[in-house]
Structure 1
Amino acid sequence: MSVRLVITDAMWDRIEPLMPADPVRGRRWADHRRTLEAIAWKYRTCSPWRDLPGELGSFQTAHKRLLRWAVDGTWERIFTAVLAAADADDDVGWTVSVDSTVCRAHQHAAGGREKGAADRSEPTDHGLGRSRGGLSTKVHLASDGRARPLALVVTAGQAGDAPAFEAVMARIRVPRAGLGRPRTRPTAVLADRAYSSRAIRRYLRRRGIRSVIPQPTDQISHRRRRGRLGSRPPAFDAEAYKQRNTVERCINRLKQWRGLAMRTDKLAIAYQAALHLAAILIWTRR
């Protein structure tokens, strides 16, 4: 059986220096590249772990590595390092688009403990919610100007977009190559009408970030009904708003992995770790 691999030599040259070193005591890590290929294969195909091809090693090794690195924050550290390398090459588009997407959850994703995992990073609801279509998870994300993910947040499927906005923005943190604090402020933020609120506009204005968010019809009508008492309409750059398609293209890239388009993980941290791996491969492909 031949397995189609996704990590090229050029991509691995960027990823390999970021991999954790072998432990001082105990057994050495299994081959990192093969393990990453194994995890990527599982989520690209949405196959059960036990169906992992023998060429990619043991499925227990890949599954344990995914969870261990999710709990200790290794996936996020690698993702942050990849972003820092791209920013050092001036390859990050700082006109950021924010949106969310709903991912259906398979019946295998249900059944986790109600109190969540012992680690605090696992939400008590496991990022699963019930909506009209059944169990689902929502992925909130911010993409750069070239349709690549900058930040990812997982919530239950029925969660609103606007309440998660500040959490997504807080995840944008790109260390600089030299001295100085990490960059956390985009030049502009593009978002659809679901994010049109005074709180969000005030948050962006306070941080000196230009907002490009259209107003929904009901907000426009309410302001006009108040007449002279109504506030001024917020500034809106229709030409800049045309770039908001970058976040839609970013979502399409992530959902090309069938295991991300339909969640089968019981734990939210495992699902988010797979999202981070997909994002890492997207950025190292540049």
Structure 2
Amino acid sequence: MGRGDLTNAEWVQLEPHLPASGLRGGRWNDHRRVINGILFRVQTGIPRRDLPERFGSWKTVYERHRRWPADGTWDRILHAVQADADLAGRIDWSMVSVDSTSCRAHQHAAGGPQEQATRREKGTTPRHHRPDEGLGRSRGGLTCKIHLAGEGGCRPMSFLVTPGQWGDAPQMIAALERIRVSRPQGGRPCTRPDHMGGDKAYSSRRNRSYLRRRQIKHTIPEPKDQRANRRRRGSKGGRPTRFDSETYKRRNEVERTINQRKNSRAVATHYDKRAYGFHGTVTTAAMRLWLRP
């Protein structure tokens, strides 16, 4: 077993959730060796052609990593691993915090040929496909942004990838609605945390109304301009928002979650040509965090 490979304990957790066959009913090559190659590339960010020979053909590693995010296999595996963790009582539903982080896009991530029309004609549009490929212009060049909801144990519950110039507040609802942990023993999936935390960027009437409607307690500081606007409107401005400074200290949990994910170099820097490919890279890094004790 090489450095960074799946341990025996992690493999025991992961193996039951892997697909049993490949295209046209054939069997996949050794799952463990190929997934170790994917994890090695996610951790180091090296070009796939430079993968060590112990992982087998680099084309096999590339095709597996490309197909699984395109058809939603990585998403299903991540949700299954989360369900196992919830069954073992490892998910802290008492507090979920939302935050975002920017990722610089490498020059190899831009300039790919447009394949949207071709794939739509064939009826094989990949999941998480974006016409903008999740890339946006900023002063620093091409960037993307990961909007993430993390639980109290510093593990990601859900995320989405957008262009780097997109704001945080409009993505909070989308991040929370992607939280969906199934229950293997039966029942509705778990989708609602007890409490939600966020910084001032997530303070808006729309977000607060959404949280109240779902009966989710929240701790979000109110910016000065919003406080002044509410006071200027008098009784029509509504009641002052509640804010607990002690509870707000737990917002560092999502920041620590982001730091753990960006330890993977292929997450910290966007190397993938396609948006769904980068989504698969981030999903793989998230899955590894859930497998670790």
Q: Which residue pairs with 1:102 in the alignment?
A: 102
2:243 aligned partner = 236
Helix, strand or coil: the match of 1:93? coil
- Per the TM alignment, residue 44 of structure 1 is displaced from its structure 2 partner at its CA by 1.1
Residues 35-90 of structure 1 show CA distances to partners (whole Å, capped at 9, x for unaligned) of 11101111211111110000111111011001111111110000000111111111
Query: In 2, distance between residues paired with 1:73 and 1:260?
Result: 19
Distance 1:46 1:175 in 2: 32
How far the C-alpha of 1:116 sits from its partner, in A, is 3.8
Is the CA contact (8 Å cut-off) linking 1:152 and 1:171 kept in structure 2?
Answer: yes
C-alpha distance in 1, partners of 2:116/2:262?
26
CA distance in structure 2 between the partners assigned to 1:206 and 1:103 by the alignment: 33
Partners of 2:96 and 2:19 in 1: how far apart?
Answer: 30
Q: Aligned partner of 1:18: which letter? A: H
Q: Distance in 2 between matches of 1:116 and 1:155?
A: 17
Does residue 1:144 correspond to 2:145, yes or no? Answer: no
1:115-264 aligned within 5 A: 116=116, 118=119, 119=125, 121=127, 122-264=129-271
Say whether the 8 Å CA contact 1:116–1:125 is kept in structure 2.
Answer: no
The alpha-carbon distance between structure 1 residues 5 and 27, as it changes in their structure 2 partners (threshold 3 A), is same
Deviations 1:77-130 (A, max 9, x none): 000001111111111011100011000000000012346472153100000111
C-alpha RMSD of the superposition: 1.6
Contact 1:115 1:124 in 2 (8 A): no
Task: Report sequence identity in percent.
Answer: 50
SS of structure 2 residue aligned to 1:165: helix
CA separation of 1:218 and 1:24: change in aligned 2, threshold 3 A: closer
Q: Which amino acid aligns with 2:225?
A: D
Distance 1:66 1:133 in 2: 29
Residue 14 of structure 1 aligns to which amino acid in structure 2?
Q
**Which residue of structure 1 aligns with residue 16 of structure 2?**
17
- Where structure 1 has 5 or more consecutive residues not aligned to the other structure, the ranges are none
Matched residues in 2 for 1:226 and 1:256: separation?
A: 46
Contact 2:261 2:286 (C-alpha < 8 Å) held by counterparts: yes
TM-score (normalised: structure 2): 0.93
Instruction: Tell me the secondary structure at the aligned position of residue 144 of structure 2.
Output: strand
The alpha carbon displacement at 1:179 in A equals: 2.1
Q: Number of residue pairs matched?
A: 285
CA distance in 1, matches of 2:39, 2:207: 36
CA change 1:115–1:167 in 2 (3 A) is: farther
